Amino acid sequence: MTEIFDSSTPIYLQLVERINRQILRGELKPGDKLPSVREMGIQSGVNPNTVQRTYRELEGMKIVESKRGQGTFVTENQKILQDMREQLKQEEISHFVESMKAMGYSESEIVNGLEVFLSQIEGSESE
Amino acid sequence: MITLDHVTKRYLKTTALRGINLHLETGKIYGLIGSNGSGKSTTLKLIAGLIQPTKGTIKVEDIPVDRRIASKVSYLSELDEYYGFYTVQQTIDFFGSQFPDFNHEKAEDIRQFMKLDSESKVKHLSKGNRGRLKILLTLAREVPVILMDEPLSGLDPMVRDSIVKGLISFIDLEHQVVIITTHEIKEVETLLDEVIAIKDGEIAGQYNVDDLRIEQNMNIVEWMTRIYE
Amino acid sequence: MDAWWHLFKKEFRLGMPAMLFTIIAFVVIVGLAGYFGIKHGQGTEPAIIAALILIPIHVFYLICYMFDSLQKERKKLHLWLHNPLPGYSLLLAKLVSGLMAMTITLFLCCVVVFIGLNFQNDFREIFDVFTWPNIISTGLFSLINIYLLALDFCIWFIFLWVIYRMLSRRLGGLISFIISLALFCLLVYLENLLAKTHVYDVLTHWGRISIVDIVSGFNFNFSLDPGSHIPADTTAFYLGSYVFEAIIVIILFLISSWILDKKIEV
């Protein structure tokens, strides 16, 4: 089935994020070749032009490199991948914190809540 | 590529289009959206030269269109009438013989992708498979302009999915422009570059799909709902 | 040419039911005539006469065939007209496939008559008056005229059909039908008016073909006394009038093709 995209962010940015996550999870490793534009379009049910835009964006972020006549590859530059990893972490945390604050939680409540939550997960995992 | 210049189309009792201007370029997939009777189908038929404007001019590659623009335009009708006595393969062969740009290998690839049985009689095909056959015949041509009138209408989600994927797989955006009319906006949203809304025979707006999201923070459905409010 | 050939094959396939219908009708009519003829002791004579009557009816074959073919195309105009071939090609494909279909039943009729003349004793008297060359030349002359008339009717029909189709999207079905009919009557009236003028005579009265010549096996020895006047229009045709009619029909056909390309709406 064609994948579902949420409706407020541009599709190409959602694809960028999706590929970034695949890299973080190790589904795409440094030096791996990305699917061709058409291939990616078919996989995700997205217009090839949009995929093109996604790849351009990723290239701008230096996360991928396109080699002439060979295709697009995940960068082998560990620093860039580390930075991306760090950046995504920051983004995700800032999202979380913003929405917690918007609901009126104090900073200490957030930190506290997180610690308790994480220790519970650890507890359930070690069982 | 395709230009509509102050095009008005009146029928016996209704006015379908009121002086519209459009300019469509190679390399893009356009979605023509709007409610029933808004003028979507009329626009496509005009570009295909199958009807004539009451006023204004329509050009494809700078040539004023008439019926014989069929040499540059592949038109998929919303009707699914075919010659019932043919099998799928005979239909493909007949179409192939009529259009010099018809690519038989591509047709065979699409047929396999769509899982159409070449020996089935066209009159015995299910609605879904007739829809697939239409797509096949339209996309197998190496033609500058592809027009599709409601390619997904009345088909179940499985068929729609295979058609959307078929479109992405077999359109050659380096050399083609595709115009799709639809009211199943959700299904085709990710497929489109540009969306053109028609309301009461006039262009209500034209946007790049991602720009619409960036600038208006809306997807096409939300945008349409606002236009039609 | 290849595209046209495939189009022609499609048209022939499209017209197949109509063609089979006429062949079956032929078998039934001639068969019934034969059956009752034999039953009532008249031999095969009624069957032969039936076939003989069916031959001139073929002047209406093409017009019916074309009506059927266009009727079948009515819901598929977006397929038929979405084609890079010029309008005359599209129409010719239908016309030629119609002529093929027509030839089949016409041939069957002729075979029955031919066999009948050979083997039915009752018809032997004919040979007291006519010789085989007479019969063949008369037959050929009639067949040519049947084809020409059939084409003439058919192209008039195509012309009126495209006029009707062109107008119907703009004016509605009924008014368009009336206008087409009125146009037909007007054109026929004008043609008749023209045929009575001196200009027409000058233009067309050449290439005289006498029926008597044909019946007597193109025996040109047959001479008329300069004094004895046999009305020309009852015993003779002019090649000129054929050419004149052919020109009119070709003009109608070209106009039809142009309208088909430029003015028909699906």
Helix (H) or strand (E) holding B147, with range, is: strand B145-149
Both tokens of C177, joined, read 């039908």
Query: Do C150 and C110 belong together in one domain?
Result: no
C140 is a domain residue:
no
Kind and range of the H or E run holding B156: none
CATH 1.10.287.110 fits A11-76, yes or no: no
Lowest mean pLDDT, pick from A24-28, B99-103, C61-65? A24-28
> Does the pLDDT value for residue C40 go beyond 90?
no
**Burial grade of C10 (CB within 10 A; 0-12, 13-18, 19 or more):** buried
Task: Please report, for residues C63, C175, C178, C179, C189, the alpha-carbon distance to residue C182 in angstroms, rounded to integers and kept in the order given.
Answer: 19, 10, 6, 5, 10
**C259 and C205 assigned to the same domain:** yes
Residues β-bridged to residue B7: B20
A vs B: CB pairs below 8 A = 65
Q: What is the mean pLDDT of chain C?
A: 85
Mean pLDDT of the region B103-132: 93
Residues C5 and C119 in one domain: yes
Q: How many residues does chain C have?
A: 266
Tell me if B52 and C85 make a contact (CB, 8 A cut-off).
no
Mean pLDDT of A118-125: 79
Q: What is the pLDDT of residues A37-91, one digit of tens each?
A: 989 998 888 999 999 999 999 999 999 998 888 899 999 988 999 998 998 899 8
Say yes or no for a CB contact (<8 Å) between B169 and A38.
yes
Measured between beta carbons, the chain C residues lying within 8 angstroms of B67 are 81-83, 87, 260-262, 264
On whether residue C17 sits in a domain, the answer given is yes
Distance from CA of B191 to the nearest CA of A (A): 4
User: For residue C266, how many C-alpha atoms fall within 13 Å in the half-sphere facing its CB?
Assistant: 27
| Rounded alpha-carbon distances, angstroms, from residue C141 to A107, A127, C147, C154, C237 | 109, 106, 10, 20, 11
Say whether A49 and B173 touch across the interface (CB within 8 A). yes
Q: C223 vs B215, which has greater pLDDT?
A: B215
Instruction: Tell me: do C3 and C112 sit in the same domain.
Output: yes
Q: Write down the pLDDT at residue C220.
A: 40
Best mutation target among C11, C19, C71, C78 (most B Cβ atoms within 10 Å) is C78
Judge if C265 and C174 occupy the same domain: yes
- For residues C62 and C69, what is the distance between their CA atoms, to the nearest angstrom? 10
Q: How confident is the model at residue C114, as a pLDDT? A: 82
More confident residue, B37 or B3: B3
Task: Read off the pLDDT band of C219 (50, 70, 90).
Answer: very low
User: Is A10 in contact with B214 (Cβ distance < 8 A)?
Assistant: yes
How many Cβ atoms are within 10 Å of C184's Cβ, its own excluded? 15
Q: How confident is the model at residue C237 (pLDDT cuts 50, 70, 90)?
A: confident
The number of domains in chain C is: 2
Q: Domain check: are C123 and C10 in the same one?
A: yes
Chain C residue with minimal CA distance to B81?
C76
Note the ipTM here.
Answer: 0.92
Do B213 and A47 make contact, defined as CB atoms within 8 angstroms?
A: no
Residue C146 pLDDT > 90: yes
Contacts (Cβ under 8 Å, ≥6 apart) of C24: none
- On the question of pLDDT at C3 being above 90, the answer is yes
For residue A7, which amino acid is it? S
| Per-residue pLDDT, C64 | 95
pLDDT at A1: 41
pLDDT of residue C201: 83
Q: How far apart are the first and last CA of chain B?
A: 33
pTM of the model: 0.86
From the list C136, C175, C156, the residue with the least C-alpha distance to C60 is C156
C128 or A25: whose pLDDT is higher? A25
Q: Which positions in chain B have a beta carbon within 8 angstroms of at least one beta carbon in chain A? A: 27-29, 157, 161, 164-165, 168-169, 171, 173, 187, 189-193, 209-211, 213-214, 217-219, 221-222
| Enclosing domain of residue C245 | 146-266
What confidence score (pLDDT) does residue C231 get?
45
Domain boundaries, chain B: 2-227
pLDDT at C217: 47
Report phi then psi at B44, rounded to 5: -65, -45
Class of residue C41 by CB neighbours under 10 A (exposed 0-12, middle 13-18, buried 19+): exposed
**Which of the four pLDDT bands, split at 50, 70 and 90, describes residue C125?**
low
Give C145 to chain B, closest Cα distance, Å: 34
Domain end (from C71, C95, C129) = C129
Q: How far is CA C58 from CA B50, C21, C115, C203, in A?
A: 35, 14, 20, 30
pLDDT score of B162: 85
Provide the pLDDT for residue C133.
78
Residues 6 or more apart in contact with residue A56 via CB below 8 angstroms: none
pLDDT at B115 over 80: yes
| Best CA proximity match to C68, nearest among C10, C7, C17 | C17
Mutate to test the interface with A, among B162, B190, B219 (most CBs of A within 10 A): B190
Q: How confident is the model at residue C137 (pLDDT cuts 50, 70, 90)?
A: confident
Each residue's pLDDT tens digit, C102-114: 999 899 888 888 8
The tally of CA atoms less than 13 A away on the side-chain side of residue B65 is 32
In a domain, C139, yes or no: no
CA gap B29, B171 in Å, rounded: 9
- What CATH number does the domain located at B2-227 have? 3.40.50.300
Q: Tell me, what DSSP letter sits at residue A4? A: P
Residue C120, pLDDT score: 66
Domain ranges of chain A: 11-76, 79-126
Report the C-alpha gap between C215 and C238 in whole angstroms: 16
Contact by Cβ (8 Å): A55, A48: no
pLDDT at A35: 93
Residues of C in contact with B100 (CB under 8 A): 3, 84
Would you say residue B164 has pLDDT above 70? yes
Q: Look at the block and give the residue holding tokens 């699914």.
A: B80
**Nearest residue of chain B to residue C9 (CA atoms):** B94
Nearest Cβ partner for A8 among B29, B161, B213: B213
| pLDDT-wise least confident of B48-57, C2-11, C113-122, C154-163 | C113-122
Of the partner residues C16, C83, C260, the one whose CB lies closest to the CB of residue B70: C83
Distance, CA of A5 to CA of B220 (rounded, Å): 13
**pLDDT score at C216:** 57
